[in-house]
Amino acid sequence: MNEKTNIKKVIELLYQQSPLGKLELSDIGKFLSSPDNINELNSYIDNIPDNNFSDIKLKIGKIWEEIDRRKESGFAFKYTISIIRKYAAILLLPLLIYTSWITYQYFFTPEEYFTLATNKGEQTNIVLPDGSSAWLNVDTRLTYNTSYGKKEREITVNGEAFFDVKKDATKPFIVHIQNMEVKALGTAFNVRGYNDEATVQTSLFKGKVDVRINNSIGHLKPQILTSGQSLVFDREMDTTKRKTFNQEIVGAWKDKQLIFENTLFDDVIKNTERWFNIDITYEPVT
């Protein structure tokens, strides 16, 4: 079936005796995504003689049996429905078929992952599907999947990124970066964690975040950061430190500025190479 599927083929699928398969549910769902097609199907159903309407009821029952079977396979899907008379079924049939298609897409189709990346020497900023803003520093990867925004807003970062999160109390915003998980609702914060660096860090610019760290013995007790606080986990030493930070320095990279403060010389070289996409050769001081 394709976009040009007509009402006759849809009706044939509705009356087939075997359960609707993945492709059939998908095709019917696509067909019913058009209001004109739904109206056409409703007109057809409205003209079915009363003595033949039991077939429609039977088909609705089979659709829900299929959904219920999927629920029992481990996926939560609650429903309540009562078909009392003809007109209730007329209104509900397209909705039930479309719901079964959406249910299948939501729970059963493989998740796809979207990755945004910057190379050394380049930065970018984007707007995420929920309206939150993200800035990616040099040599950074940001990944999220198709479930983003359905129940939670989960993102994985490798590198450095700044987020200005759109508030949604029902869908926490969660960033996974190295050994750290940062959970927020409506905040602005910076995370940094490169593979070749010993530390991973969260710096909160506004709002509150719940930070959890997975150290050598498991998850540490959650820590709540308030504006102006930073949490640093040293992966080599397996230690955690909370401190205050200078927002102008930590956020300077967003304004195309590279600023160092109390930074080891080797780290200065490493970050400069990453920032400008160059190789620096120097003789160690003895």
57 and 178 housed in the same domain: no
133 and 194 housed in the same domain: yes
Round to whole Å and give the CA distance between 175 and 134: 11
Range of the domain at 208: 113-260
131 and 246 housed in the same domain: yes
Does residue 265 sit within a domain? no
Quickly count: other Cβ atoms within 10 Å of residue 163's Cβ: 24
Residue 253 DSSP label: G
52 and 171 housed in the same domain: no
Does residue 43 sit within a domain? yes
Among residues 88, 108, 128, which one ends one of the domains? 108
In the block, residue with structure tokens 């299929």: 66
123 and 103 housed in the same domain: no
Does residue 101 sit within a domain? yes
> What pLDDT does 244 receive?
95
Would the CA dihedral through 68, 72, 75, 79 be positive or negative? positive
What are the tokens at 156? 């994985």
Structurally, how many domains does the chain consist of?
2
117 and 215 housed in the same domain: yes
99 and 156 housed in the same domain: no
What are the tokens at 142? 């940001």
Does residue 283 sit within a domain? no
Among residues 48, 80, 108, which one ends one of the domains? 108
Among residues 57, 84, 108, which one ends one of the domains? 108
Does residue 272 sit within a domain? no
CATH of the domain at 236: 2.60.120.1440
Per-residue pLDDT of the chain (286 residues; tens, 9 = 90+): 444 456 667 666 666 655 556 566 666 666 666 666 666 766 666 666 555 555 554 555 555 455 455 444 443 333 333 333 333 344 445 555 555 555 555 445 556 788 899 999 999 999 998 999 999 999 999 999 888 888 889 999 999 999 999 999 889 999 999 999 999 978 999 999 999 999 999 999 999 999 999 887 777 788 999 999 999 999 999 899 999 999 999 999 998 898 888 888 888 888 888 998 888 887 776 6
Q: Which of 93, 53, 54, 70 is nearest to 19 (CA)?
A: 70
Does residue 45 sit within a domain? yes
Contact 159, 139 (CB under 8 A): yes
Does residue 188 sit within a domain? yes
145 and 256 housed in the same domain: yes
The pairing of strands 141-145 and 113-117 is: antiparallel
- Which amino acid is residue 100, in one-letter code? S
> What pLDDT does 160 receive?
97
61 and 129 housed in the same domain: no
98 and 148 housed in the same domain: no
Contact 257, 234 (CB under 8 A): no
Contact 185, 173 (CB under 8 A): yes
Q: H/E element holding 142?
A: strand 141-145
> What pLDDT does 228 receive?
95
- Per 3-state DSSP, what percentage of the chain is helix, strand, and coil (rounded to 5)? 35, 30, 40
Does residue 271 sit within a domain? no
56 and 181 housed in the same domain: no
136 and 23 housed in the same domain: no
What are the tokens at 5? 């599927």
Residue 195 DSSP label: T
